[in-house]
Amino acid sequence: KGEKENISSNALSDLDPCKLKVLAVSSVGIGGLLCYMAWRKKTKKIPVGDGWWREGEKPLSEDRTIRPFVVETSEEMIQDLYQRIGQTRFTESLEDGRFHYGFNSAYLKKVAKYWRHEFDWEKQVRVLNKYPHFKTNIEGLDVHFIHVKPVQRTGQKVLPLMMVHGWPGSFYEFYRILPLLTETEGDFVFEVICPSIPGYGYSEAPRKQGFSSLDAARIFHKLMDRLHFTDYYIQGGDWGSLITCNMAQMKPEYIRGMHLNMINARAGSTMTIVCLLVGRYLPFLVGFTREDVCRIYPYMQKNVYELLRESGYMHIQATKPDTAGCGLNDSPVGLAAYILEKFSTWTDFKNRDLEDGGLERKFSLDDLLTNVMIYWTTGSIIPSMRFYKENLGSSSNFYKRLDNVTKIYVPTGLAAFPHELVHCPRVWARSRFTDIRSYTYMPRGGHFAAFEEPALLSQDLMQFVKKVESKRPK
């Protein structure tokens, strides 16, 4: 043993000092590389934080009671609505104007007439109360949600699922898809929780500035914790997509899987330009599929103009939401025009070429006006519009926010609907989502997936969850 030690020490002492330095640097380099790789593999999270959104200071204790809630109406409310509809001042639409200038006035008169004389709000209130509603106070706000328990068959696993809406939608968007998720056959069935974003519908609006998607995500985590769920799926589109992404970034250990029908992945600007220039002619070089090419390039020359034409509302709501909101909060017909124009155009841009905006191709007037009534009866249009300013206003530095530069590591399913506002190829999605289990080119549908195509969305969600569950330990 002594001879071996002498040989080893002699061998080292005989080495050239330069070689020793190279050996040392190499060892440090390899060690550093291994540490970096370990760091890269570690799931990164964003801070959860905390908040208080009512006036005054946060109390030492919080009421965690979950209270049943029932949607109600009154004759006084209905008569006030009828009076306001009857006093609406209409402007004649331009000849052959269709929806190119916004909501067509001629068709708006038809909507107002139906609303006043045929729409039955009391009946729709009963429809809303079909599912159990609740409220609970979180960070000073009364947060509304519906909680739908499944019809469980023998041998079925029950999986908790939170579904989050966007603007100008509401929890009501999910009423057509809920039976497909809670009354289904197969290995599993969902127990669904659909909250209203604070400031939307029956969820109380924040009284302080700064309430963003990060705060909504934290509140929804607290809601699920209050319901005793610590392992669940999440699904969303529009703002719901951003909020659920934030939930996955805050507490990935709680998220069993995330499914989105609006895909936001911020590719580098230079990379995006290169992809767009090369992708049409050599799509395989930039990872585009044939379907990506079909969805991106017919409209590429129009993209800038389309974004300008369809994002005016965003500039208003991200800067002066209260000013525009005053008129909408005072006029039910004005509110309907503002909201329903989005349900027309965001379902399919081609609907602008139609006199009726194509609204009744995918939706019934009863369903559309029920969503409008949720905003009207709660006076929530202004606080819902403020959500844009809190997320996109200059003071928030949205694109520099930590959640925008943090990747998402939970199992992810992506449904790319052909008439979504912007198409995000899978190769771009990989820049943000590191564990994509499914990416589906949906055959039809637009921005309001659950409202437009509940069967397609539920099928895609089911196949994604099936893939995730098959890989989980027994």
Owner of token pair 């990747």: 407
By C-alpha distance, which of 441, 11, 48, 473 is closest to 246? 48
User: Among residues 232, 375, 388, 439, which one is catalytic?
Assistant: 388
How many helices (DSSP H) and strands (DSSP E) are in the chain?
Answer: 21, 9
The answer to whether residue 114 is catalytic is no
DSSP-based three-state secondary structure for 433: strand
Q: What is the rounded distance in angstroms from the CA atom of residue 243 to the CA atom of residue 197?
A: 9
**CA of 443: how far to CAs of 115, 360, 417, 424, 459, in Å?**
33, 20, 7, 15, 12
Amino acid identity for residue 26 in this structure: S
Q: What is the 3-state secondary structure (H, E, C) of 28-73?
A: HHHHHHHHHHHHHHCCCCCCCCCCCCCCCCCCCCCCCCEEEECCCC
Q: Which residues make Cβ contacts (< 8 Å) with residue 43, sequence separation at least 6?
A: 252, 409
| Distance from C-alpha of 123 to C-alpha of 56, rounded to nearest angstrom | 40
- Residue 11 has a pLDDT of 47
- In order along its 474 residues, the chain shows pLDDT tens digits of 455 444 444 444 455 555 545 445 455 555 555 544 444 455 689 999 999 999 989 998 889 999 999 999 999 999 999 999 999 999 999 999 999 999 999 999 999 999 999 999 999 999 999 999 999 999 999 999 999 999 888 889 999 999 999 999 999 999 999 999 999 988 999 999 999 999 999 999 999 999 999 999 999 999 999 999 999 999 999 999 999 999 999 999 999 999 999 998 865 556 677 777 777 777 777 788 888 888 888 655 456 677 778 889 999 999 999 999 999 999 999 999 999 999 999 999 999 999 999 999 999 999 999 999 999 999 999 999 999 999 997 654 666 788 888 999 999 999 999 999 888 999 899 989 999 999 999 999 999 999 999 999 999 999 999 999 998 876
Residues 6 or more apart whose CB falls under 8 angstroms from that of 55 comprise 207, 208
Residue 151 amino acid letter:
V
Type and span of the H or E element at 260: strand 255-260
Coil, strand, or helix at residue 96?
A: coil
**Is the Cβ–Cβ distance between 352 and 98 less than 8 Å?**
yes
Among this protein's residues, is 447 annotated catalytic? yes
Catalytic residue among 175, 419, 447, 460: 447
Cα(399)–Cα(391) distance, integer angstroms: 10
**Confidence at residue 397, expressed as pLDDT on a 0 to 100 scale:** 62
Burial of 237: CB neighbours in 10 Å, binned 0-12, 13-18, 19+: buried
The catalytically annotated residue of 215, 238, 348, 460 is 238
**What per-residue confidence (pLDDT) applies to 281?**
72
Tell me what pLDDT residue 36 has: 44
Residue 238 falls in the annotated catalytic set: yes
Which pLDDT score, from 0 to 100, does residue 395 have? 52
- Residue 361: C-alpha distances to residues 125, 295, 368, 438 (Å): 24, 22, 12, 29
Separation between Cα atoms, residue 162 and residue 226, nearest integer Å: 13
The Cα 349–Cα 364 span in angstroms is 19
Tokens read off for 375 = 């905003």
Output the pLDDT for position 267.
54
Q: What pLDDT shows up at residue 8?
A: 45
CA 138, CA 224: separation in Å to the nearest integer?
11
SS3 percent helix, strand, coil of the chain, rounded to 5, is 50, 10, 35
Q: Report yes or no: 284 and 82 within 8 Å, Cβ to Cβ.
A: no
Q: Could you give the 3-state DSSP secondary structure of residue 90? A: coil
